[in-house]
């Protein structure tokens, strides 16, 4: 597969030559400024982020790995961070691994971690630097709770739907707004650091339908059922 040809608007930090297919960004300048202001206000993501190392984050990563074992290739990890999930996926697939993150420093860490075994680009998840229908599966975990605004979920899912091919798959995770621990932690974080967002499954189903995607399965993470889990892994398909 010629991954280089899949790159659309954005900034590449991938293997040599991949940047030749990068086009000038078509993203909204206002949206770009919103994201940049967010990170200026709250700081760039740490290269070893504490929020990616906890029990919940690890459980989400394991559930996503199981959901991706038979997923169509190439697989694009949106919000890939320092490449932890891609490193795990490498044992399941020897080709067709892509990563994208807004923070160029962590993209470089991921690129170093994977040592040429995956290709990377830097860009916003609301304006991914990949062409329409160019990937088989989009996965986005430990990321959507950290969007600059609550309304960002609709934009993100629409963008995921744009880049995934017919017959492709979308795997993403949402923190559960019904769980009292999540509600308490996220309320505290809003007052102490920066906003974190929860999204319910009803909202997710509605957004997926709006994007032409079909909900396939929901996997509760660290809980006996969807309503009592700390998070839910959502799997959707493009007909």
Residue 14: predicted pLDDT: 43
pLDDT tens across the length of the chain (239 residues): 434 334 444 555 443 333 322 233 344 444 455 555 545 554 544 434 444 468 999 999 999 999 999 899 999 999 999 999 999 998 765 579 999 999 888 899 899 999 889 999 999 888 999 999 999 999 999 999 988 788 899 999 999 999 999 999 999 999 998 888 887 776 766 655 667 788 899 999 999 999 999 999 999 999 999 999 999 999 999 99
Helix or strand run (H / E) with residue 169: strand 164-175
Show the tokens assigned to 29: 């300048």
Residue 74 preceded by cis peptide, ω within 30: yes
Residue 236: predicted pLDDT: 99
Residue 237: predicted pLDDT: 98
Judge contact between 76 and 139, C-beta under 8 A.
yes
Q: How many CB atoms lie within 10 A of CB 47?
A: 12
Q: Global pTM?
A: 0.80
Rounded CA gap, 237 and 26, in Å? 26
Residue 182: predicted pLDDT: 84
Q: Which domains are delineated in the chain?
A: 3-237 (3.40.50.150)
Judge contact between 59 and 176, C-beta under 8 A.
no
């Amino acid at each position: 597969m010629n991954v280089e040809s899949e790159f659309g608007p954005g900034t590449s930090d991938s293997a040599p030559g991949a940047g030749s297919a990068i086009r000038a960004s078509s993203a909204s300048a206002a949206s770009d400024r919103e994201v940049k202001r967010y990170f200026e206000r709250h700081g760039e993501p740490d290269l070893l982020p504490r929020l990616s190392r906890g029990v919940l984050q690890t459980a989400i990563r394991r559930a996503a790995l199981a959901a991706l074992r038979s997923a169509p290739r190439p697989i694009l990890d949106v919000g890939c961070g320092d490449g932890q999930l891609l490193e795990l996926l490498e044992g399941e697939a020897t080709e067709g691994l892509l990563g994208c993150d807004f923070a160029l420093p962590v993209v470089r860490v991921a690129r170093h971690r994977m040592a040429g075994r995956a290709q990377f680009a830097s860009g916003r998840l609301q304006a991914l630097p990949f062409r329409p229908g160019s990937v088989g599966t989009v996965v986005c975990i430990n990321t959507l709770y950290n969007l600059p605004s609550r309304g960002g979920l609709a934009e993100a899912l629409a963008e995921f739907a744009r880049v995934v091919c017919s017959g492709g798959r979308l795997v993403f995770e949402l923190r559960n707004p019904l769980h009292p621990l999540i509600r308490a932690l996220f309320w505290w974080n809003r007052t102490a650091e920066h906003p974190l967002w929860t999204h319910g499954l009803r909202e997710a189903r509605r957004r997926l339908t709006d994007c032409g995607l079909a909900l396939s399965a929901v996997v509760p993470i660290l809980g006996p059922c969807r309503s009592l889990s700390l998070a839910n892994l959502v799997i959707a398909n493009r007909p």
